[in-house]
Structure 1
């Protein structure tokens, strides 16, 4: 096989939950389908494991509050 030389890992890594916290915005059509978004947001339910409340749920609620001044969901669990 060919040598690739020195390989370095990416240094600009952010918490993976920041990307995942877009899920409620994505499924409700944020930015792409404003007519659907108006009816679908906040989403009705966020099913998730209790072990990731501190990360996924917190980041999602924070992002929704900062962007839209609304909670991201009507119900969680």
Structure 2
């Protein structure tokens, strides 16, 4: 998306959006499209972070299920 399109979409000034996009770029979340400096896109890093979060949440769910099974057994 163009910086101005992002600004229009979220009702912010282009300078604010540019600053925020540059911060996100520093974090690896977005990137400029080569040869088109005013165009931005999400980077693969965002998908990597989402997948890592999903995997960690699956591990946490597994541990919770194991704990629940351990403490909810019938003491007969």
TM over 0.5: no
- State the TM bucket, normalised to the shorter chain: under 0.3
Report the structure number with the largest CA radius of gyration.
Answer: 2
Give the TM-score normalised by the residue count of structure 2. Answer: 0.25
Specify which structure has the higher proportion of helix: 2
